[in-house]
Amino acid sequence: MLSHLDAQGQPAMVNVGAKAVTHRVAQARAIVVLPAALAALLRDGDIATKKGPVFQTAILAGIMGAKRTSELIPLCHPLPLDDCKITVENQPPAADGSTQIFITCRAETHAKTGVEMEALTGATIAALTLYDMGKAVSHDIVIKDVRLCEKTGGKSDFRWPTSIA
């Protein structure tokens, strides 16, 4: 049975009242594929636009998104984040000139429930911000492979078994 359904199959928040507070960490990643024209502008690092510096704005948006996860995902518990870090990494260009950008969000808390959704939301919001800021150059931006890379501190730890973590 899914954890967010009650006995009647209706949506329900998971009761974490009896759980112990533990230190919890989660890391998630989104990959943004930039077409050649946009990748060329960002090849040497961040650029300033009318909306602000692209990567720095994406980082701030990702942190803000992680902090507001419970307002976006209906059954998430509101969590106080002890820390949230977003990194944006340019990968080497592909043969066609496109470039993958790895956006990683690491979220940390001391709570009764995990911080995976905050990490996933942070990475996703940062990726969407990159799309928003780059769409003036091209709409051929692709956001892909948003996934949890690892989590620790709950009932079970998880680490993605490939080199993406």
Which structural domain, as residue segments, surrounds residue 34? 22-154
The pLDDT tens digits for 40-85 are 888 777 777 677 789 999 999 999 999 999 999 999 999 999 999 9
**Tokens found for residue 70:** 């419970």
8 A C-beta contact, residue 144 and residue 29:
no
The pLDDT tens digits for 124-155 are 999 999 999 999 999 999 999 999 999 999 88
pTM score, two decimals?
A: 0.89
- State yes or no: is 44 an active-site residue: no
Q: Which of 44, 132, 145, 157 is catalytic?
A: 132
Residue 5 lies in a domain: no
Residue 8 lies in a domain: no
pLDDT at 28: 98
The pLDDT tens digits for 91-133 are 999 999 999 999 999 999 999 999 999 999 999 999 999 999 9
Residue 38 lies in a domain: yes
Domain CATH code at residue 107: 3.30.70.640
Residue 51 lies in a domain: yes
**Tokens found for residue 108:** 């940390």
Residue 78 lies in a domain: yes
Residue 17 lies in a domain: no
Residue 163 lies in a domain: no
Residue 7 lies in a domain: no
How many domains is the chain partitioned into structurally? 1
